Amino acid sequence: MSYLLIMNPGSRSGRGKRLWKTWESGLDRVGAEYACVFTDGIGYAIELARTAEADVVVAVGGDGTINEVLDGVMQSGKPNLQMGVLYSGTSPDFCRFHGIPIDPKQAVDALVSGRVNKVDVARITYHDAAGKERVAHFGCSCNVGMGASVARFANKWRKYLGDIPGTGLGVVSAIAQNDRLDVSVEIDGNSFGLAEVNNLTIAKNPYIASGLRLQLDLGPDDGKLAIVGIHGKGRAGILRMLPKFYSGSVAIDRGVFVRECSSVVVSSREPREIEFDGDPRGYLPVRIEILPKALNLIGGNSEVYSK
């Protein structure tokens, strides 16, 4: 097996580079053929993964790097290309869901184990700032409403404040804006309106960011998406719900809209920014559909996931 390791050198203040000797010794021990390249900015890992000639493309970084590598692997058009993860980020949402170890030695052992699971991926069609349609893929979640504001705040401040406090303050900042919107939603072909939406999450993964999670009946390879909508809430109402985002119980609150589906379309009369897998990425309208068992994920263990 040949491996291309795509490392984000800035992830968690260079943690990947500090762990390199551990990972290198694990790869050398099994006689693996490998090369490592550094990312050079946003989107570079997508292109590296899309054009990779290796058998396995490995994301070395956090969830942002993982998402870019996943997108590149899906765009490669190579059905046998595998993806692995050596985690060096701050919030292991993807790894937690898929049972990929975050301990450095255990992670490289899992990578070279040869154990491959076919897992679901979400394909998203959205629009850039110029209104041009774009297509990408994600493994965690997309948020309409507060998500982009939370991600922008967290990405700026958590390196100073820490992961959970940075994201938590980002949520509080977004709640203070209380910028609600009316949306049109189409779920598996059935259309309806949802008024005064605070935030709409379309999730493949119940872990949505830095300790925030949703109590959902989702598995890595079950062919399902889940939609969770918080709507009609004022600032005080959302603040009262905030602890439920950490316990996961917000998804079973009587006042929260929850549906399972295989595809969803969200649009609004006004332009609205979206976020997926940790970064503001574009604008509504957006279409998201599940691609069942479309990714060959190496080193994971879905049996360790518990809802």
Ordered domains of the chain (ranges, CATH) = 2-114 (3.40.50.10330), 122-293 (2.60.200.40)
Q: How many angstroms from the chain centroid is the CA of residue 51? A: 22
Name the maximum alpha-carbon separation found in the chain: 58
Each residue's pLDDT tens digit, 81-91: 999 999 988 77
**Given a cut of 80, is residue 302 above it in pLDDT?**
no
Beta pairing partners, 146: none
Under 8 Å between Cβ of 23 and 29: no
Reported as half-sphere exposure (CB side, CA atoms, 13 A), residue 66 has a value of: 27
The one-character DSSP state at 55 is S
Answer yes or no: are the C-beta atoms of 218 and 224 closer than 8 Å.
Answer: yes
Closest by Cα among 269, 258, 262 to 287: 262
Q: Tell me, rounded to whole angstroms, the distance of Cα 176 from its chain centroid.
A: 25
Name the amino acid, one letter, at 184: S
Q: What are the start-end ranges of the H helices in 135-227?
A: 147-161, 163-177
Average pLDDT over residues 162-167: 76
CA distances from 123 to 53, 75, 286 (A): 23, 10, 10
Looking at residue 143, what is its pLDDT?
A: 94
Structure confidence at residue 157 as a pLDDT band (50, 70, 90): confident
CB 146 within 8 A of CB 174: yes
Radius of gyration of the chain (CA): 19
- How high does pLDDT run on average in the chain? 91
In the predicted model, is pLDDT for residue 275 greater than 90?
A: yes
Q: How confident is the model over 41-46, as a mean pLDDT?
A: 90
Q: Which DSSP category does 79 fall into?
A: T
Q: What angle do CA 95, 97, 101 make, to 5 degrees?
A: 35
Q: Which residues touch 29 (CB under 8 Å, ≥6 apart)? A: none
Q: Which two tokens stand for residue 38?
A: 């550094």
pLDDT digits (tens, 9 = 90+) for 112-139: 998 999 999 999 999 999 999 999 999 9
Amino acid, single-letter form, for residue 152: R
Q: What is the pLDDT of residues 166-213, one digit of tens each?
A: 788 888 888 888 789 999 999 999 999 999 999 999 999 999 887 889
